[in-house]
Amino acid sequence: MHEPDCKALLDRCNELELYLDETRREIQYYKNIASVAGHKRLKEVEELSNLIFLRKQAEKALEKARDELEDKVKERTRELVSINNQLRKEIEERKKVEKEIRYLAFYDSLTGLANRRLFMDRLSEAIKRAVRKRNRLALLFLDLDHFKRVNDTLGHQTGDLLLQGVAENIRRFVRKSDSVTWLTPLKKKELLVARFGGDEFSILISDIREPDDAARVARRLLNNIPATYQLDSHEVSVTTSIGISVFPEDGHTAEDLLKHADMAMYHAKTSGRNTYQFFTETMNQIVLERFLIERDLKKALENGEFILYYQPKLRLSDKKITSAEALIRWNHPRQGMVPPGKFIPVAEDSKIIIDINRWVFKEACRQVKQWKTPGRDDLSVSVNLSGYKLNSQNIVNYLEATLISVGVDSKNIEIEITENILLKGSKETISTFNAIKSLGFKLAMDDFGTGYSSLSYLTSFPVDTLKIDRSFVMNAMSEQNNQVIIKAIIAMGHSLGKKIVAEGIETEDQYHFLKECGCDEGQGFFFHHPVPADEFEKLLTRDSL
Ligand code: C2E
Ligand code: MG
Ligand code: MG
């Protein structure tokens, strides 16, 4: 019988037709196709059917496994695609960041100009090229004049805008100069501009034939850069000072050329700003000396290396000492006694002058208190105060607090300031001196006649004393003009109610001349050199000098 569930198989070897029940895994029945075989055969057939069944099963399992595997592969492929996309995105971002980092490493983020690092690299390469080709190159170092004032008064944001404006101006100038026909033709010149931070810019001019090429660029820059910049609501005008160093004359390495261009720039500043200067070897020495002074000055106060000397001032009519001028001396550990002319100007260029002013004032107060014994009630000591913007040194508060802490009367102290302070100063400076005056100090205008200050200062500035500068006294006997000036100062001073003191009296002739002109007091080597406090005290015991 033939059941529907059964599958018929032919076993030709044994001449059998087998009927297999797949679900029950057994042969249901069989038919002998030819002749009926023996029972033994049947057993073999059963085994065979079993094998076939197992194989089928295995095939099914394999199929299932393959399907599952395929699914997994698909899923994994999907995952891989998404990871791949993510990776690609990350790589792109990384490249962008790397580009930004590279930009920041070589360019100035405020102005977009090259930065110091890139500039120095290019300079080193340019030097190597110049050595090979036996050419010159020049480095221009620019510094804006009085940029700090812009920053201080209008704020850093405006300062930044100004720097961007100047950078754009220089960039435009350089672009215009790309075909530099006005430079000595050699071949196309490379002008690389960089900002070194702050208000410092530098320009590399490769392949110049003569130093004057660099000077020509500098001159043109000086004509191009000064401009009035409209920054927010402010109009700001700037000029610039330029230092130039030339390879191979001024140095063989990028560092040396830069150092020397910087020194030359500094020199340009001191010679009036808005100008350019070439580096010279003497300048190197001056700047080096100045650098060493500045470095050592910072430690001098802490180490107690300053002392005050006192030079007597005398009434010319009877040569009696009326007061002393306190003059600072620096007992340098290696250089010995350094005169103030060498270090005060350096201190004035930095904040060190503030501490020096304070130290001198306090020390002078202490000293005058010690000398002020009965009978010497009117003795006074003059103190020189200097430095740019005395008003921003918070000096008035300091003077008042020191008077109280030392316990001295302001009428025994005179403050000497130079005309230059007034020249550089403003209305604020005058109000500072009014405040000093209202504390009871006397005020003297030092080195009078040298500062070219307007005579109108004499009426707006509350000065008690004019000190005629040494330079007029020095040549008074040989130069008629000086005598005229001295007489004029005395007459004018007196008519304004000021006391007149002559500085630098070195000879008897000078003394007599000044006395006859009606000068009130005098000071100079003719009477006495400045001396330490204990020696000055001995002078005080004399009736006259
Ligand atoms: P100054 O205030 O005009 O001081 C007078 C200078 O002339 C002193 O020089 C003094 O030694 C010098 N002198 C006096 N009599 C004669 C003379 O007959 N002939 C000559 N050739 N010179 C004479 P010193 O002490 O070298 O001071 C130089 C300048 O340094 C001072 O000029 C003053 O501007 C500044 N200075 C001195 N001490 C101080 C200080 O404590 N603080 C500040 N800020 N500046 C000071
Ligand atoms: Mg003085
Ligand atoms: Mg003087």
pLDDT (mean) for 116-145: 94
**Smallest CA separation from ligand 1 atom 7, residue:** 504
Tokens, residue 499: 């006391």
Provide the b/e sequence for 150-161 (b: ≥16 CB within 10 Å).
Answer: bbeebeeebbeb
Please give the residue that has the higher pLDDT: either 178 or 535.
535
Fold topology of 116-279: Alpha-Beta Plaits (3.30.70)
Give the CA distances from residue 20 to residues 23, 24, 35, in Å, rounded to whole numbers and listed in that order.
9, 9, 20
Region of poorest pLDDT, from 22-31, 167-176, 371-380, 497-506: 22-31
Fold topology of 290-539: TIM Barrel (3.20.20)
Q: Residue 323 Cα, ligand 1 centroid: separation in angstroms?
A: 15
Residues touching ligand 1 (Cβ under 6 Å) are: 311, 326-328, 339-341, 344, 357, 360, 384-386, 416, 446-447, 470, 503-506, 523-525, 530
Q: Residue 395 Cα, ligand 3 centroid: separation in angstroms?
A: 21
Q: What is the DSSP string of 254-270?
A: HHHHHHHHHHHHHHHHH
Region of poorest pLDDT, from 37-41, 126-130, 166-170: 37-41
Please give the residue that has the higher pLDDT: either 203 or 146.
203
Region of poorest pLDDT, from 284-288, 323-327, 427-431, 462-466: 284-288
Rounded Cα gap, residues 294 and 424, in angstroms: 23
- Which amino acid is present at 204? L
Most confident of 67-76, 202-211, 334-343: 67-76
Most confident of 15-24, 97-106, 212-221, 517-526: 517-526
pLDDT band at 452 (very low <50, low <70, confident <90, very high): low
* Ligand 1 atom at minimal distance to the Cα of residue 308: 41
**Smallest CA separation from ligand 1 atom 15, residue:** 524
Residue ranges of the chain that CATH labels 3.20.20.450: 290-539
* Ligand 1 atom at minimal distance to the Cα of residue 505: 18
Q: Give 268's contacts (C-beta < 8 A, 6+ positions apart).
A: 241, 242, 243, 275, 276, 277
What pLDDT is stored for residue 102 in this prediction?
82
User: Average pLDDT, whole number, for the chain?
Assistant: 87
Q: Does the reported pTM lie above 0.95? A: no
Mutate which of 314, 467, 503 for ligand 1 pocket (most atoms within 8 A of beta carbon):
503
Q: Give 307's contacts (C-beta < 8 A, 6+ positions apart).
A: 328, 329, 331, 532
What pLDDT is stored for residue 1 in this prediction?
45
Coil, strand or helix at 37: coil
Per the CB < 8 A criterion, the answer to whether 324 and 501 are in contact is no
Coil, strand or helix at 165: helix
What pLDDT is stored for residue 186 in this prediction?
46
pLDDT at 15 over 70: no
- Beta bridge partner(s), residue 8: 19
pLDDT at 492 over 70: yes
CA dihedral 445, 451, 456, 458 (to 10 degrees): 10
**Smallest CA separation from ligand 1 atom 45, residue:** 384
Give the ligand at the shortest distance from the Cα of 473. 1
Tokens, residue 11: 């076993």
Q: Comparing C-alpha atoms, which of 498, 511, 485 is closest to residue 458?
A: 498
Q: Residue 50 Cα, ligand 2 centroid: separation in angstroms?
A: 126
pLDDT at 43 over 70: yes
pLDDT (mean) for 346-366: 91
DSSP state of 177: G
What pLDDT is stored for residue 179 in this prediction?
47
Tokens, residue 251: 């140095």
pLDDT band at 316 (very low <50, low <70, confident <90, very high): very high
Residue ranges of the chain that CATH labels 3.30.70.270: 116-279
Per the CB < 8 A criterion, the answer to whether 514 and 502 are in contact is yes
- Which amino acid is present at 372? K
Q: Residues 224-266: pLDDT tens digits? A: 776 788 887 888 888 999 999 999 999 999 999 999 999 999 8
Q: Give 71's contacts (C-beta < 8 A, 6+ positions apart).
A: none
Rounded Cα gap, residues 216 and 221, in angstroms: 8
**Smallest CA separation from ligand 1 atom 8, residue:** 327
The packing angle between helices 281-300 and 254-270, to 10°, is: 80
What pLDDT is stored for residue 167 in this prediction?
93
